[in-house]
Amino acid sequence: MRYRPLIWAALAATLIDQISKYLVVHVMRVAAGDIDVLPPLLVFKYGENRGINFGLFQGNTEAARWVLIGISVAISVGVLIWLIRSTPSKLMMISGGLLIGGAIGNVVDRLLYGYVLDFLNMSCCGINNPFVFNLADVFIFAGAIGLVLFEGKKPS
């Protein structure tokens, strides 16, 4: 099946994101205090993101929550339609799957909790980064970059 790489990448991204959030937030209980993994490079810090990436455009209303869910779903559907209508390479399909899977992971959070669970914090070189993010955000960015880098390449 032509779309198998997209489906598997989306499924893997969604599952990895949700499992990581469950483990760090509910099992490791990061909300009780920061967890130094490789300080200061990687620290688990609890965050509730009611906006978009890195807490931008915070909205603490039900309307904002549903608007952000709608935007995520619309972007995912748009990427899916674009990939179906084009002749994407396998790497483009995987990239699209990562983007869609990451978006779905964050939508699941908004549906379950009303916000996105974040727990990753990275700082380096004397710069203290106050922002937290999650693996869904990583998958979204990696997928978007992959779509740009691999667009126009010969299908494999």
Residue of 17, 34, 109, 118 marked active site: 118
Query: Which residues, in sequence order, are bridge partners of residue 121?
Result: 43
- Position of tokens 């699941």? 108
SS3 state of residue 45: strand
Taking alpha carbons only, the member of 20, 8, 42, 36 closest to residue 106 is 20
Give yes or no for a contact between 59 and 51, defined as CB atoms under 8 angstroms apart. yes
| Known catalytic residue at 137 | yes
Give yes or no for a contact between 30 and 24, defined as CB atoms under 8 angstroms apart. yes
| Known catalytic residue at 118 | yes
> What are the catalytic residues?
118, 137
